[in-house]
Structure formats: structure tokens, C-alpha cells
Amino acid sequence: MKRTGNLTKQSFAAFLRRFFAVVVTVAFVFSLSGEAQSSSRIKDIADFEGIRDNMLIGYGLVVGLNGTGDSLEDGHFTKQSLLSMLERLGVKPTMDGLDSKNTAAVMVTASLPPFARQGTRIDVTISALGDSDSLMGGTLLVTPLVGADGEVYAVSQGQVAVGGFSAGGQGQTVTKGVPTSGRIANGGIVEREVGFEIGSMETIKIALRNPDLTTARRMAEAINAYLGSASAISSDPGTVQLRVPANYRANVVGLMTDIEQLRILPDQIARVIIDEQSGVIVMGENVRISTVAIAQGNLTIRITETPQVSQPGPFAEVGQTTTVPRTDIAVDEGKDKRLAVVDTGVSLQELVNGLNALGIGPRDMITILQAIKASGALQAEIEVM
């Protein structure tokens, strides 16, 4: 019996050790998952040097429209473009013969992806340039797409897909979406490549999309911790320079792949974004306010006119029917509005609750925030859009 009791105590002690080990492991896993959820990958907050899009633009003609194209008046650029195109094809039409409304001049835009090779297909966007009513049913003719350097990097052609439409008669017109803009999926073919060699790079520049000193330093520290060497340094708030380690000299793409998956916690300045046109207010997490008393009240005068008709009694010999004005004036001086004290160092939620307690709308809240900033009590930057 005694031996059995010793075994029971030892088993219970081992169970306790295993139980506490499991609790510690679960707590550690949850802490890591919480940190991972609040952090961001480097690829989501920064761009690598050389990996970028290039804007392309072109001028072309859309044909096959059902009478919704440009009006070909004398001197119209659509008519001049159509004449020039037909002459290149060996057709010499007369000026009077071009009176159709089945052609429209358009601007063609596209984005050339990084490292797009010859023959790669890209999407293009078509937008009417003249007085066309709709591009529905039209076909874009071969249009060269040039870059900022004036060189042709792609050509586009195909059936235009329009999401909107316009229909109507003499009394009413119905328009949905934008019928003068369309898209051609895979309508462009890359003809020229943008030369950039990643494999021969010895130094990589990583550009932050939202420049910040703390974020740049955290990124450099995370990269150095992963590589085990001081290869990365934050040269300015928006750039981290990385020297390619010796073991990655023949695999720079692999280095970028490993680095872009690293997670860091981006930092941000305290900022309040205000859009006065729509009344939208966006406040960052680090917005703080010093102790301040706030009161908001408006003088509102409401005048209501309710005229009444006055007429003499039945069979009266004297009197006439007339309209008697009746005016009701209500004055609201905001006497029920009281001062609200906002303590120093309050959080964003407490600041919002305090402003909402005053019973004010977004536009009045914009004025209050600007007044708090003017008093020096708002420890944040205000940006008016």
C-alpha cells in the first residue's frame, strides 16, 4: 500500500509538470499569434528597387459603333485621324464621304507589369476623347502604346467591353455607368521589354510606402536578425539599404523572397484626416489630447409661416374674405449644451466618446478638432483633404 501511495504522488507530480508545460506553451503560442496579427509583412509595406510598373498610353480609333460615335465635322480630329488611317491603307476617300457616326477617337491606357516579356498580354482601358455617346459594340484598331520615353512598348487591339449603357427617346434618357469608357481584357501585347537585371545587384534598396524613421529601423533590425549580420541599414525614413550577403550572391531573387516574408510592426505618427466636403473624420491610434473643456452651441432661429383665411359670418352685410398671416418664431440658443472636460492623455476611444457626448455632428466635430488643435491641446497632426 505504501509503494502504491508513492507511485500515486509521483504520477500526480508528473501530471502537474506536464500541465504547466502545456499552459506555458499555449500562452506562448497565443502571444506569438497576437504579435503576428498586429504586424505586417515587408512586402505589404515596402517596394523593392526595380520591381515596379510602367505607365503606357496611346491614341487610337474605335470603329463599328451603332451611330454613337463622334460627329465628323470639318476640322474634327477624329475625321483627320480616319483620313490618315485610310490613306495608309491605300484608300483615298473624299471629305464629303465621311459623315458616319460609327467611329470614335479614344485614349488607350495600360500598365506594363515589371519584367513583362515579349508576347505577354496585358489589359488595356479605353476612354472616349471626342463627343461619342457610347463605345458599346466597338472594336479598337491596332494602337501603339508608348512609355514616358516615347518608345513603343506594346500594341493593343480588340473588342471593347463596356459596363454601362445609355438609352432614351425624345422625352426621357436612361444612363447606367459610364458608356464612354471600356476595357479589353488581354487586349495588349508586349513588344519591348524593360531591361533590369536583378541577379547582378550588389545592393538592394527597399522603399517604404509610408516613410517613417521607426518603421525603417525596425525593418533593418528584422532583416539583420534574419541574416545574422549587419547587412541592412536605414539610410533615411523611406529607404532601407541592404548589402547582398556572400551566400546570396548567386540567388538575389531568393534573398528578396525570404526578406519580404519577414514581419514587423509599422509605426505611424498621430494624425487626424478631415474631409470637409463629405464630413469624414479619420483619427489614428496615437492621437492624444491635453486637458481641455469643450462646449458647442449654435443659435438657431426657426420661422414658420401658417397663413389663415378670415371671412365674415353667413349672411353678414359687412366684411370680406381675406388672408391673415400667422408667424411662429422659435429660438434655440443652445442652453442645454454644457461644457465637457476631456482629461489629458485620453485614448482615441475616450476622445470619440467625449465628443459624441456633446451630441454634435461630424461637421461640428471638424470645427471642434480644428479649435482644439489651434489651442495646442491636440497632440496630433491635422490634414485637411
Section 254-282 average pLDDT: 86
What phi and psi, each to the nearest 5 degrees, are found at residue 234?
Answer: -85, 110
CB 126, CB 186: distance < 8 Å: no
- C-alpha–C-alpha distance, residues 145 and 124, integer Å: 10
Is the four-CA dihedral 276, 280, 286, 288 of positive or negative sign? positive
Query: How would you class 202 by CB atoms within 10 Å of its CB: exposed for 0-12, middle for 13-18, buried for 19 or more?
Result: exposed
Q: Which pLDDT does position 169 carry in this prediction?
A: 62
Query: How would you class 141 by CB atoms within 10 Å of its CB: exposed for 0-12, middle for 13-18, buried for 19 or more?
Result: middle
pLDDT score of 95 more than 80: no
Kindly state the cell numbers that stand for 204: 538592394
Q: Which pLDDT does position 349 carry in this prediction?
A: 62
Section 186-200 average pLDDT: 89
CB 91, CB 121: distance < 8 Å: no
CB 258, CB 322: distance < 8 Å: no
Q: Which pLDDT does position 90 carry in this prediction?
A: 86
pLDDT score of 5 more than 60: no
List the single range of 102-111, 128-137, 160-169, 338-347 with lowest mean pLDDT: 338-347
What contacts 224, CB < 8 A, 6 or more positions away? 230, 231, 232
- The residue ranking higher by pLDDT, 343 or 273, is 273
Section 78-106 average pLDDT: 83
Report the predicted TM-score, pTM, of the whole model to 2 decimal places. Answer: 0.66
- C-alpha–C-alpha distance, residues 286 and 267, integer Å: 10
Section 337-346 average pLDDT: 55
Mean confidence (pLDDT) of the chain: 79
Q: Which pLDDT does position 296 carry in this prediction?
A: 61
Query: Around Cβ 341, how many Cβ atoms within 10 Å?
Result: 9
- C-alpha–C-alpha distance, residues 116 and 66, integer Å: 36
Kindly state the cell numbers that stand for 185: 481584357
pLDDT score of 78 more than 90: no
Condensed to tens digits (0 to 9), the pLDDT of residues 210-261 reads 999 999 999 999 999 999 999 999 999 999 999 999 889 889 999 999 999 9
pLDDT score of 25 more than 50: no
Q: Which pLDDT does position 242 carry in this prediction?
A: 94
Query: Around Cβ 68, how many Cβ atoms within 10 Å?
Result: 19
- The residue ranking higher by pLDDT, 201 or 58, is 58
pLDDT score of 334 more than 60: no
pLDDT score of 320 more than 60: yes
Residue 303, sorted as left (phi over 0), alpha (psi -120 to 50) or beta, turns out to be beta
Q: Which pLDDT does position 371 carry in this prediction?
A: 82
- The residue ranking higher by pLDDT, 44 or 323, is 44
Section 258-270 average pLDDT: 90
Q: Are strands 381-384 and 271-275 parallel, antiparallel or unpaired?
A: parallel
Condensed to tens digits (0 to 9), the pLDDT of residues 132-184 reads 888 998 999 999 999 999 999 999 999 999 987 666 666 667 767 788 999 99
Task: Please give the share of the chain, as a percent, with pLDDT higher than 90.
Answer: 36
Q: Which pLDDT does position 323 carry in this prediction?
A: 73
